[in-house]
Amino acid sequence: MSNILYITASIRPDSESISRGLGQRLVDGLAATSGAAVTTRHLAANDLPYVSAERFAANLTPAADRTAEQAQLAAIADTLIAELQAADTIVIASPIYNFGPPASLKAWADLVARAGTTFRYTATGPEGLLTGKRAYIAIASGGTPVGAEFDFMSRWLTFFLGFIGITDVAIVAADGIMGADGEAKIAAAQDAAQKLAA
């Protein structure tokens, strides 16, 4: 392992975010054992654009063929994709918002899914191109249990990562923390994150 990409999506500061507390434990542990460099992408602080027809077309146009306007529109997706390509380990820390991912994480996915670059179409169906990487997902939720029928966050994110070729995925969750045993659940998840990263 030489490069860790750390993506966070909570709107809360470090001192309050449970998902980022888990994600940071994973990153610290993984970096300590491997000496890997860490690139951090805080999505909530970055105001990623939503994909539009123009941006989508620019993203799919080969760099050499883009107009100046298209080059500008595609620049952020180019950067996000380069971050993914350079990483051999990806840590994503995210809450569940309204039973799914935060909008910023969905915006990120809409930008990095680029046919011909991060996945491709084949005669037998789509094929992910970002192979040979490992991902860790750190999730926090107030009441939604990870893996529940109405958890569209972990299921979507795991499927999406697989779609772009990242099939080796481990999940650590502090879920349902608004309940009476919330503190114990957070402590158990922190412990699990530390062990997973060791």
Residues that bind ligand FMN (CB under 6 A): 10, 12, 17-20, 95-99, 140-144, 177
CB within 8 A of 178, min separation 6: which ones? 142, 143
Looking at beta carbons only, is 144 or 154 nearer to ligand FMN?
144
| Minimum distance from residue 157 beta carbon to ligand FMN (Å) | 14
| Minimum distance from residue 197 beta carbon to ligand FMN (Å) | 18
The values of phi and psi at residue 6, to 5°, are -110, 115
- Whether residue 150 contacts residue 100, with contact meaning beta carbons closer than 8 Å, is answered with no
| Minimum distance from residue 170 beta carbon to ligand FMN (Å) | 18
CB within 8 A of 172, min separation 6: which ones? 22, 26, 136, 137, 138, 139, 189, 192, 193, 196
| Minimum distance from residue 109 beta carbon to ligand FMN (Å) | 18
Nearest residue to the partner ligand FMN, using Cβ? 95
Beta bridge partners of 131: none
Looking at beta carbons only, is 7 or 58 nearer to ligand FMN?
7
